Structure 1
C-alpha cells in the first residue's frame, strides 16, 4: 500500500498510465501530461537533482504559479527524501530571506525570470543558496550566474543519469515511509517571522483521504489549480488529494486567464476563498445593472424563486410541484446559463474557507444550484478539521468534525483539535511547538468558538483578538473585531475592513471600498471620479458606506452578546490595503497591529472626534519603486441602536 506521495504517483502510473494527470494551458491550447508521462518526468528531475547534490532531509524551495513541472519537482524532491518548501510567488525578495535561511536551503526551483531575479537579489544574504533552477527560460538567455541552470537541462542530465543507474529512482522512492517529512509550509507571519509548519506524508495523506471520503471524490474529478501553491489549501486540493484520488489538475495559462480557463474546464470540484465568490457575484450584479429592463426584471423575478426554492432543493427537502416547475423553468432560462457563464456547469462540490462568507452570498450560489459549502482548518491541521455535509450547509457554521477529528472547547472559548493531520512541529522552534501542541496531542487553534445544538462548529474570532469595550455606554461588552469586519465585508461595496475597540470606549473602523463595484455604482449615477482616492472620498460614497455600517449595527443590536461591538465612527482609506506594503499577509489577512501603528494619526482622529484627518503614506509600486499617497480623509459618525433584550 503506498504511504508517500511518490509511491501514490507510481501506483496511478502503473494502473492508469494513459489517463490524464495534469493539464496546462500554453498559448491558448490545453496540453495534457498523463500519469505515465509524469512518472518519467519525476524520475528524470529526481535523478538530475541527485546528480546535482541534493541530499535526503534537505529543503528545496519551489516558487511559482501552478505549473506541471513545478509539481513534478516537488514529487522529485520527495522521491529523494528531500523536503519541498513552496513560497508565495508574489512575495518580495526580502520576504524570501527568512525561509531560505531558516530552512538552510541550497536548492531553489523557480518558475521564471521574475523569481530568478528575487533569488539573485537575496543571494548575498543567503550565501548557502548554491543552485537556482528555472522552468521558463524567457528573458534569461544572457544570465551567467554561478549555479543558475534551466530545468530543461537538469531533466536531460537526469534522464541520462537514470539510464546509467536504472534502479536509483525506484530504490529511493521505496526507502521513504509515511512518517518521513513530506513538506514544510511557512505561516503568513501576522505577528512576526513566519513559522515553518512541518508535515509528514502520513499527516497530509490522511487528511486528503478523509476529505475525499467525505465528499466521495474519485479519479473522475476535474480541478482548477489557480491559488498560490504555497498556501496549504491549494496544496491539499491540487496536490495531496490529487495524488490520493488520481483526478485531473488543470493549470491556467496565467492569472489573467483564470476566468476564461474556469469556463473552459468546468471543474467538478472547486475551492476558493470567499473573496473570489464575492467577485463573481459582484460581476454578475454589475452586468445585470447594465442589462435591458426586460432582462433585469426576468433575472430578479427568477432569483426570487431561486432564493425560496433553491436551498431547499440543495438540502434534499420536499418542494411543492408548482415551485419545482417554476424553478425548473428558471434553471433553463437563468440559473443554468449563469452557472455555465461562471464555469460552474459541472461543479459537484464547491468549498470556501479562510474567512466567513456572507449569508446573501452563500444563499445566492446555493439558490442557483451550486453546492457551495464551508470547511474549517489551518496550515497546522492539514486543512480538513470540519466539513459541511451536502444537506447541512449553512452560512453561520463551518461544519461538523470529519473522520478522525476530535474537538473540545477550552474554558476561555478556544477551540482545541486532535487529529491525525496535525503538524509534526514548527521547524527549529520548539517553544512555539510546545505552545500549540499539548503533551496529550491537542492542538490549540487560537480560534474562539463553540459547538451548536446541531453539532456544527461556529467560529467567532481569534482568541487573542476578542476584547472588551472599556468605558462609555457599552463598558465591559465583548468586542470581536473579525466578526465585525466580516459582517461589513459581506457588502459588495466593501472590500477590506480593520476594526478597533478593545480597551476603548467605542468601536471604530477603517475600510477599503471595492473599486470595481463602487466605480460601477458611481458611473450609473453619473458621478465623475479620478481614481481610487478621489472616489473613496466622495460624499455620496460615504453615504453609501454609512448605510452599510448602520445595517450591520442594526444586526449587531439583535445579538445581546455582541451588541456592544456596533461601529460608532468610520473612515474610508485613501489607498487599498496591500501585502506589498505590509498591511496584509500573503493570504490577505489584515495585520491589525501593523496597520494601527502605520495609520496612528487616523486611529487617533477616529477616537478624538475629528471630522477629517490628513495622512501621507509611503507605497510600493509593482515595479519595486516607492512613492507616496496623501489625502485629507473624512471621518463620519454612524448611528448605533439600542440592544434588543433577550426574552426571559
Structure 2
C-alpha cells in the first residue's frame, strides 16, 4: 500500500512525524559546521519542523502562503520548507546564485510572503529587493554573523522564530497537530521553477502525492536502505535535490548530510563516504578532469601504471557491455588494478562506499560514463523532468548502458508519439504551472499525458533512449541527422574543454564554440612557461588553440566524417548563467546563444578567418558591461574515424 493511502503518512511533514515515532534516535540529518559533523535525530528533526511551523503561525503564515528559501544546503532551510508545508503552505526554493532580476521575477511570480535566507549575503540581496516584492512580509535569517547591527523591522532570526513557536504552542497546544491533519496528498508541496532553457522559468506545482509516490517507485527498483547517507550538496532550487533530500529522505529514511560549504564539498564527500549519490554531468566531468590532471602531474612511473590499468579497465568494461567474458589474465589484471589504482581513486573521490551513483539533469558523454564504471563505480543514468517530480526512468544495476536512460520507474506509462517525442502519464506528473493554465494545457494533454519535449525511442531491451531536446534535433544540409548534445559530450570529455556549443542544423558541416577550462588550461600553460593575465588572454594564445584543436581532433576520430567538427573558435569568456547563456543547472540556452552569437555563426560558414564578438556581461547586482574583441576561427583537417562503440 502506498503511503499516500493512509491519512497518517500522506504528506511530507506527516512522514517527519512518522519517522520520529519509528526511529526517534536515528540520524535524520547532519551538517558540518566548523569542521565537525553535527547530527539531528529524527526526533530533533520533528521538533525543529514543529517549532518553526508554530513560529510561522505566530507570524500569521496561513494555508496557501508561499515561503522561499535561498542559500546553500543547510538543515534549517529544509526544516523551514517542511514547516511551511505542515501549515498547508508551499515552499519555493530559489537559486542562491541568482542575479537580482531573476530573484525578483521568481519571488513575485510565486507571491512569496516569507524568505528564509542562509546568511548575510542572502539577506543583503533580499533587502535590496524588498521594495520590488509587494507580497513580502518577513525575511528570516539562519546565520546571524554580520547582522548584529541590522535593524530593518522586516528581519527576524531563525532562533527568534523558534522561540515564538514554543510560546505559541503554550497558548495553542493542539495547533500543529490540527493543521498537520488538514494536509492532503494532492495539496501543493513545492513550486519548483524550471531551468528556463527556452525563456522565463515556469513554476511547476508538485503535490505531496507527486513527491511521495515518485520516491516510493524509485526505492522499489533501487537498493535503498534505511539510514543510507546522502550528501545534500545540489542546489536546493533544483528539483533533483528536493526529490532526494526531502522526498526520498522522508519516504525511505535516508540521512541527508549538508556539507560545510560549496568549497569543501569534495573534502566532505570523502569524509562522509555516502552510500548513494546523484550528480549532474558537470560534477562527473569535473571529477574526471581532476583525476586526469593528477595523473598527468604524477611521476613517470606512476603515470605509466595509471595509464596501463586505465586502458585495461576501459577495454574490459567495453567487453562486459558487449556481453563478452574476460580472460583469466584480464581478471588478474583488474584485481591488481583494484589495489594499485581503482580502489585508491574511488577513495579519493569519496565513493568507496557508494553502492550506486546516478547521473542526471543532462546527458553524460559515453566516454566519461565508461571511465567511472570501469573504475568500479556503479554509475548509472537517470532521466527525469521538473514536471515529472524529477524521475521518469532509471537503469537497473545489471543493465547499465551509456546510450540509454533505463526503464520507466514502476506505475508510470511512457510512450513515444508519432513525432518521436517522449510522453508519460502517472502519479509523478505535476499538477500544473502556477498561474499559467494556458502553458499547462500546451504541456499536458486532456487525457493526462505529459509532453517532455525530448526526442527518444525504446530499444530492443525496453530501455528508453533520449536523443536530444526535440527542438534541438536537426539535420545537416545533406539530410544527415544532427544532435548537438552528442557531439558536445564528445568534446567535453577533454579536461581542457569546459563547455562546447555545436551548430550545424541546415548547414553544410558542424562547427563549435569552445569555452576552455581555466584551471586545467592555466596549469598546462604554467608548466610550459606560457604567461597569461586573464581568461581572455589565455584563450587567445596560439598554443592554446593548438591544444584545443588536438583535443577536438581526438573527439572527431570517434565520429563519422559528416558529424566531425570542421571549424571552431575559443570564446574569450566562460558561458555564464548570469549572462543568460546557460541555465542555473548548467544547460545551454541554445536559442539565446544562437541569437547572441549570430555573427559568429555566419562567420563560421562565410569562410571568415576571424570575427568580431561583442559580449554583454551581467554582474550580480544587475549592472551590465560589454566586452568587444576579435576572435580567430580555426580550421580542422578531417580525422580518420576509429571503430568504437558510441
- 1:182-221 equivalences under 5 Å are 182-221=189-228
- 1:82-481 equivalences under 5 Å are 82-309=89-316, 319-470=326-477, 474=478, 476-481=479-484
> Partner residue of 1:597?
595
Say whether 1:492 aligns with 2:495. yes
Runs of 4+ displaced beyond 6 Å: 311-317, 641-644
Deviations 1:180-226 (A, max 9, x none): 11111011222222110001100111111111111120113101111
User: Shift in Å at residue 502 of structure 1?
Assistant: 2.6
**In the alignment, which of 522, 525, 536 is matched to residue 525 of structure 2?**
522
**In the alignment, which of 531, 534, 543 is matched to residue 531 of structure 1?**
534
Distance between the aligned counterparts of 2:147 and 2:397, measured in 1? 49
User: Shift in Å at residue 424 of structure 1?
Assistant: 0.5
User: Shift in Å at residue 456 of structure 1?
Assistant: 1.3
Say whether 1:482 aligns with 2:496. no
User: Is the 1:397–1:456 contact (alpha carbons within 8 Å) kept by the matching residues of 2?
Assistant: yes
Give 5+ residue unaligned stretches, structure 1: none
User: Shift in Å at residue 302 of structure 1?
Assistant: 2.2
Say whether 1:20 aligns with 2:27. yes
> Partner residue of 1:4?
11
TM-score, structure 1 normalization: 0.94
**In the alignment, which of 557, 568, 572 is matched to residue 560 of structure 2?**
557
Distance between the aligned counterparts of 1:331 and 1:163, measured in 2? 60
CA-based RMSD: 2.2
Give 5+ residue unaligned stretches, structure 2: 1-5
User: Shift in Å at residue 337 of structure 1?
Assistant: 1.4
- 1:567-586 equivalences under 5 Å are 567-586=565-584
My pick for the range that moved more, 317-326 or 83-92, is: 317-326
TM-score, structure 2 normalization: 0.94
Deviations 1:37-82 (A, max 9, x none): 1111111100000110111011111111111111110110110010
Distance between the aligned counterparts of 2:640 and 2:414, measured in 1? 36
Equivalent residue pairs, number: 636
Q: 1:481 to 1:316 in 2, by over 3 A?
A: closer
User: Shift in Å at residue 261 of structure 1?
Assistant: 0.3
| SS of alignment partner, residue 558 of structure 2 | helix
> Partner residue of 1:509?
512
Distance between the aligned counterparts of 1:622 and 1:101, measured in 2? 19
Say whether 1:64 aligns with 2:67. no
Distance between the aligned counterparts of 1:483 and 1:246, measured in 2? 37
| SS of alignment partner, residue 556 of structure 1 | coil
Deviations 1:338-366 (A, max 9, x none): 11111011011100012222222112211
User: Shift in Å at residue 478 of structure 1?
Assistant: 2.9
Q: 1:405 to 1:639 in 2, by over 3 A?
A: farther
| SS of alignment partner, residue 415 of structure 2 | strand
User: Shift in Å at residue 572 of structure 1?
Assistant: 0.7
User: Shift in Å at residue 628 of structure 1?
Assistant: 4.1
User: Shift in Å at residue 385 of structure 1?
Assistant: 0.9
Distance between the aligned counterparts of 1:101 and 1:266, measured in 2? 40
Distance between the aligned counterparts of 1:311 and 1:420, measured in 2? 37
Distance between the aligned counterparts of 1:122 and 1:330, measured in 2? 56
| SS of alignment partner, residue 86 of structure 1 | strand
**In the alignment, which of 61, 65, 68 is matched to residue 54 of structure 1?**
61
My pick for the range that moved more, 306-315 or 88-97, is: 306-315
| SS of alignment partner, residue 555 of structure 1 | coil
User: Is the 1:195–1:427 contact (alpha carbons within 8 Å) kept by the matching residues of 2?
Assistant: yes
User: Is the 1:43–1:162 contact (alpha carbons within 8 Å) kept by the matching residues of 2?
Assistant: no
